Structure 1
Amino acid sequence: MDPRSEVLLRQAELFGGRVLLAGLPADDLLGSLPAASGWSWHAGDQSALEARFAGRSHFGVEVPDTDFDSAVLFLPKSRELADYLLQALAARLPGAALYLVGEKRGGIERAGKQQLAAYGKPRKLDSARHCQLWQVSVETPPPAPDLNALAQTFSLSLADGPLQVVSLPGVFSHGRLDRGSALLLLHLDGLPSGPLLDFGCGAGVIGATLKRRYPDSAVTLLDVDAFAVASSRLTLAANGLDAEVIAGDGIRCAPRELAAIISNPPFHQGVHTDYQATETLLREAASHLLGKGQMRLVANSFLRYAPLIEQHLGACRTLAEDDGFRVYQANRG
């Protein structure tokens, strides 16, 4: 059981009714709270929850259209995302209880004191398992937020013209181009013809660039996060581009028979470091590539991905190294 869930269950009498658990982990919490429902924006968690508790958890970027009398937000890493989620939940809970739970090292004390204060007088209910549980009675319900109005748009000057990028709260490198993607953008020439995949698409910078540069290739953008998927769709639309965007937990959700996989893969999940998605990508990329298909990947220089690439795919070349990042290329052997 996730330690945040354990803290909730220490106060189980508060959560016996129709409570919405927003951003819940994929553990047995729904089993312990039979009247509760879930709201997830992580495709992997949602898949696990659906398998165990069919129909009780909803996936997406908007508050589910379901009845609930109180809500618990599992504090996300991004403050902007937390602001949006708290406002969206508080708008549905006039006079009712809104709870916030999170890890101490994730900033729960600050969030409990500061972010909940917009809706009433917050109070700490419990502290255990290196986590805290906070509560506020929504005295001043806000209007429901317009998620698209919270998007940040910026323009990239690329060789083939400006690209408009639209990112939503919580998406990696929100409102700016990260250094890894900037380096990868300089090394997207000469890809093999055929279907292309942007793995871990974020706001869609790489995928949109690929579609514009290779208009005759089918391009798929894949991310585990619903807010990233929504951002990528906005970025494609802002540039008049048409590509498939899918939510999925890792490379197993990607199409087969790809000409190339291009990625600036994530290695953080919440406040924890997590390399699993990238290591699984490297182990299984070959099964998604055509016979001479190619993978092109950017990563922090300190991450030892080259041996994994060579073990599971083929000879690995370093195309570029700059500013603490490397661009690797390998063809399926």
Structure 2
Amino acid sequence: MDPRSEVVLRQQDYLSGPILLVNAPCDDLSSQLPATVDAHFWTWNHNESLYFQNKQNPVHFGIDLPTADFEQAIVFVPKSKELLNYILHNLASRLKIGASIFLVGEKKAGVERAAKQLQPYGHTLKLDSARHCQMWQLTTNTQPDLKPIESWIQEYTVNTPNGDLSICALPGVFSQNRLDVGTAVLLPYLTQVTSGKIADFGCGAGVISAYLAKLNPKNRIFALDVDAFALASTQLTFTKNNLLPEQLEIKAVSGIEDAPLFLHAIVSNPPFHQGIHTDYNASENLCKTSRRHLKSGGELWIVSNRFLNYPLLIEQNFGKCTTKADQQGFKVLFASTQKKLKDER
């Protein structure tokens, strides 16, 4: 049992009726809540959504609040301050004045800082401090009008040899405020990517997807990410740059195993964080298994931190890995499948 869930159970007397659990850990919390509690889940992580579905828990995956009725909410603190602001605003706009929103999180994850974000919406009270976690209660005294999603967008410009791109990033999305160094190192090499069906694995705000679409209107881009906010951001970025909608297909994935087959290329600044924790599984699996999703002669392009062992993993599975660039602490890595006399169709 996650320690944050243990703290919730210590204060279960405060809970009753239909409750929305936001960003909840993947554990057995719902089965241990009082019988008077009707738990619903809201997550923007595809893997977590699948977990709750398998547990037969009512779950909503997406960037918007679920339509289900609820009278209370428990928010498990996300990594992003901006994302927590978005969550709290959406909850306060839906709940009646006097309703309770509970906030729970680890001390090392900044729960005390996060508790200050409750204050604009009403009276706050620390209920518990245990298991290196805290649980706070907000009693709402306001019901703000719901802001449109456009008001939450952070927009910035990326200069490319083929013109500027306007990037639209929603709260919590990787590199929300500016172009990250890894993608900046990779961008000059995207002109070398073979055209056709291309997957952008871990698409984030859509920088790579949009640039590949801009380079060639015949490119068909599969934007893949575990995070609903990233997928929505990529869609917004495409729209903002007047790119052809038929060029883009958005897909929530657990990992590269959910990518389409017979791709001409896979391009990635691969993710390695799950919440506040480092997790290299998705990016290592990309290096190990991506070739099965590529056509004969298909290409893999990755940018990664210099210290990671991706070149070895790629070489073991492709036979050869070429370092195209090594700068600012990042490497651009390239590999291709062996061409056959007759391409797969």
CA contact (8 A) 1:61 1:226 kept: yes
1:65 to 2:67 alignment:
yes
> What's the counterpart of residue 20 of structure 1?
20
Distance 2:121 2:193 in 1: 52
Q: Among residues 147, 154, 158, which one is paired with 2:149 in the alignment?
A: 147
1:30 to 2:30 alignment:
yes
Other structure's SS at 1:144 match: coil
Q: Among residues 188, 191, 194, which one is paired with 2:190 in the alignment?
A: 188
1:325 to 2:327 alignment:
no
The one-letter code matched in structure 1 to 2:272 is: F
Moved over 6 A (4+): none
Deviations 1:45-80 (A, max 9, x none): 0011112115x0101111111110100111110101
Q: Among residues 108, 111, 133, which one is paired with 1:108 in the alignment?
A: 111
> What's the counterpart of residue 211 of structure 2?
209
CA contact (8 A) 1:200 1:223 kept: yes
> What's the counterpart of residue 175 of structure 2?
173
Distance 2:8 2:124 in 1: 17
Equivalent residues in 2 for 1:114-263 (5 A)?
Answer: 114-241=116-243, 242=245, 243-263=248-268
Cα deviation, residue 191, structure 1? 2.0
> What's the counterpart of residue 93 of structure 2?
91
The one-letter code matched in structure 1 to 2:123 is: K
Other structure's SS at 2:69 match: coil
- Aligned residues: percent identity? 47
CA contact (8 A) 1:266 1:278 kept: yes
Cα deviation, residue 276, structure 1? 1.0
The one-letter code matched in structure 1 to 2:150 is: N
Distance 1:74 1:310 in 2: 40
Other structure's SS at 1:189 match: helix
The one-letter code matched in structure 2 to 1:260 is: A
Other structure's SS at 1:127 match: strand
Gaps of 5+ in 1: none
Cα deviation, residue 214, structure 1? 2.5
Taking structure 1 as the reference length, the TM-score comes to 0.96
Distance 2:251 2:302 in 1: 20
Distance 1:169 1:282 in 2: 29
Q: Among residues 278, 281, 284, which one is paired with 2:286 in the alignment?
A: 281
CA contact (8 A) 1:202 1:232 kept: yes
Distance 1:15 1:287 in 2: 48
Deviations 1:244-277 (A, max 9, x none): 1111111122111111100001111211111111
Distance 1:174 1:320 in 2: 25
CA contact (8 A) 1:285 1:313 kept: no
Distance 1:121 1:24 in 2: 23
Cα deviation, residue 192, structure 1? 2.4
Residue range with higher mean Cα deviation, 246-255 or 228-237 = 246-255
CA contact (8 A) 1:30 1:53 kept: no
Other structure's SS at 1:18 match: strand
> What's the counterpart of residue 50 of structure 2?
47
Aligned length: 331
1:267 to 2:272 alignment:
yes
Distance 2:290 2:60 in 1: 30
> What's the counterpart of residue 342 of structure 2?
none
Gaps of 5+ in 2: 339-345
Other structure's SS at 2:158 match: strand
Cα deviation, residue 115, structure 1? 0.6
Please, what is the CA RMSD of the aligned residues?
Answer: 1.3
Cα deviation, residue 304, structure 1? 1.6
